[in-house]
Amino acid sequence: GSMKPTLMIDDRILVQKVTRYIGDGFKRGDIVVFYPPSVETEVYEDSILGRFIPFFPENPPAFVKRVIGLPGDQIIIRRGEGVYVNGQLLEEPYVKEPANYDRYNMESISGVNARGNFIRPYQGNGAPIVVPEGKLFVLGDNRNASADSHVWGFADQSRVVGKVCLIFFKKQWFGGLLGGEDS
């Protein structure tokens, strides 16, 4: 449920896959499907070179998140307030409650946790992040329950599958007719 309430578990979406190749590219607010940079990797420390080497599984899971920052944008996340892009507080009616987390350093890696995810050191609430060329800053609408750019850094535009252009089935539209609860 990282995209609640916009997308719920079991919702069905239509993805426009040609976004990267034609059209006007990505816009702030787009919902994109992509392969994240580190969440789906297994990371091993090379004992000879002393560095972390990622290995990608054959079929990594794709993620669905909202584009918040484009290349060149300055992002500031303020706990309990919201997200600022280039000095302007984003109006985000789709977010139920503001993020209750702090910024991580997107450039340095300080270690690897037991699950193989990169850990980035805390740099302080409200510190600016500048989105590099070829990258996107993406967040889930359910900010406090989402593995996204605040955890693993920028999404690479080359790993974007496409933009969500239609939600064509939402389980909640049918209420209790389908049985079970909406997640």
Give me the residue spans of the domains in the chain. 12-178
Residue whose C-alpha is closest to residue 28's, from 110, 79, 83: 83
User: Does 65 qualify as catalytic in the annotation?
Assistant: yes
Could you tell me the pLDDT band of residue 59, with boundaries at 50, 70 and 90? low
Select which of 2, 38, 146, 149 is catalytic: 2
Select which of 4, 38, 65, 149 is catalytic: 65
Q: What is the pLDDT of residues 34-47, one digit of tens each?
A: 888 754 444 444 44
Distance CA 112, CA 3 (A): 26
Distance CA 44, CA 94 (A): 38
What phi-psi label fits residue 80: left (phi over 0), alpha (psi between -120 and 50 degrees) or beta? Answer: left
- C-alpha gyration radius of the chain: 17
Per-residue confidence (pLDDT) for residue 161, from 0 to 100: 87
User: Does 38 qualify as catalytic in the annotation?
Assistant: no
Distance CA 140, CA 162 (A): 16
Distance CA 150, CA 103 (A): 6
Looking at domain 12-178, does it have CATH number 2.10.109.10?
A: yes
| pLDDT beyond 70 at 126 | no
Query: 5, 143 in Cβ contact below 8 A?
Result: no
Distance CA 143, CA 95 (A): 7
